[in-house]
């Protein structure tokens, strides 16, 4: 799929300080126009080959160079490493001859998909309630990631399962760093050694429970949070995570 960012044309009327035969001069500035090659959201299996198709950047009818910057959202990579599960954003930027810049981006999900018998890794949609209350904004949110860190240790991208970061779309409001130790997946024996904080609001949070149902590809995770205040405000999140097949 090719995506085209429509061109923006600005007409600048330049009036000379002293009148001459040329009169007024009209100059047209063409802002960078991008044709995104391929999809703007791409899913890649862990360890698979990924080749970025890039973009075509133009100023008017003339192709111009562009730069590329990559950021791994949770694990900090600056290149796309398909051995490292993460959500990578690729930003393409071009500058026209008048110094005006433009950009376009694509998102690459590198994912490992566990069978929920031996591994709980995966890409998940999330439906969350907070203190027993949810709503449409917190239903089937896309996406929460779980990746494997060691033999029986996993990490989740957001211990609130997207309540603030996706449901309320508050930038930088993930509760990251949640560690899940799978003592025995078959018997739902898990432990949660990390004490967390919400990056936007603060406070103290802990994952308190996890139940896995392989037949339905679902996990149910509970998380507690004492939001900042005097006294702190207690919240409890219950997230139903549904694994997305790739």
Query: Residue 3 pLDDT more than 60?
Result: no
pLDDT score for 2: 47
Q: Is 116 contained in some domain? A: no
pLDDT score for 27: 79
Which residue is it, tokens 């018997």? 187
- State which of 91, 111, 131 marks the end of a domain: 111
* 215 and 107 in a common domain: no
Give SS3 for 233: strand
- State which of 62, 92, 111 marks the end of a domain: 111
Contact yes or no for 80/89 (Cβ under 8 A): no
- State which of 89, 111, 133 marks the end of a domain: 111
Which residues 6+ apart lie within 8 Å of 155 measured at CB? 146, 147, 149, 177, 178, 179, 180
Query: Residue 6 pLDDT more than 50?
Result: no
What is the span of the domain harbouring residue 9? 3-111
* 79 and 144 in a common domain: no
Query: Residue 35 pLDDT more than 80?
Result: yes
pLDDT score for 23: 52
* 126 and 222 in a common domain: yes
pLDDT score for 198: 97
CATH number of the domain that 49 lies in? 2.60.40.10
d(CA 50, CA 137): 33
* 143 and 83 in a common domain: no
* 74 and 135 in a common domain: no
Tokens, residue 171 = 């930038």
Weakest mean pLDDT among 8-17, 82-91, 223-232: 8-17
Query: Residue 16 pLDDT more than 90?
Result: no
pLDDT score for 45: 97
Q: Is 191 contained in some domain? A: yes
Count of domains observed in the chain: 2
For the chain, give the mean pLDDT. 91
Q: Is 210 contained in some domain? A: yes
Q: How far is CA 94 from CA 3, 84, 175, in A?
A: 16, 28, 34
* 236 and 136 in a common domain: yes
pLDDT digits (tens, 9 = 90+) for 123-170: 999 999 999 999 999 999 999 999 999 899 999 999 999 999 999 999
CATH number of the domain that 202 lies in? 2.40.128
Percentage with pLDDT > 90 across the chain: 87
Q: Averaged over 209-232, what is the pLDDT?
A: 98
* 156 and 103 in a common domain: no
pLDDT score for 24: 55
């Amino acid at each position: 799929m090719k995506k085209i960012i429509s061109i923006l044309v600005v007409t600048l009327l330049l009036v000379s300080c002293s009148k001459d035969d040329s009169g007024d001069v009209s100059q047209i500035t063409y802002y960078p126009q991008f044709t995104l090659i391929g999809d703007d959201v791409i899913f890649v299996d862990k360890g698979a080959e990924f080749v970025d198709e890039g973009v075509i950047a133009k100023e008017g009818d003339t192709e111009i160079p562009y730069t590329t910057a990559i950021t791994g959202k949770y694990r900090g990579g600056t290149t796309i490493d398909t051995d490292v599960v993460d959500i990578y954003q690729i930003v393409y930027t071009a500058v026209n001859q008048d110094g005006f810049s433009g950009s376009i981006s694509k998102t690459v999900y590198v994912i490992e998909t566990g069978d929920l018998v031996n591994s709980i890794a995966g890409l998940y949609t999330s439906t969350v309630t907070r203190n027993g209350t949810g709503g449409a904004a917190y239903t089937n949110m896309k996406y929460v990631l779980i990746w494997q860190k060691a033999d029986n240790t996993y990490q989740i991208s957001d211990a609130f399962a997207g309540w603030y970061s996706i449901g309320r779309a508050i930038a930088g409001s993930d509760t990251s760093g949640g560690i899940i130790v799978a003592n025995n997946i078959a018997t739902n024996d898990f432990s949660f050694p990390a004490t967390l904080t919400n990056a936007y609001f603060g406070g103290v949070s802990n994952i308190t429970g996890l139940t896995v149902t392989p037949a339905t590809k679902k996990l149910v995770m509970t998380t507690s949070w004492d939001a900042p205040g005097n006294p702190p405000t207690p919240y409890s999140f219950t997230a139903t995570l549904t694994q997305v097949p790739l």
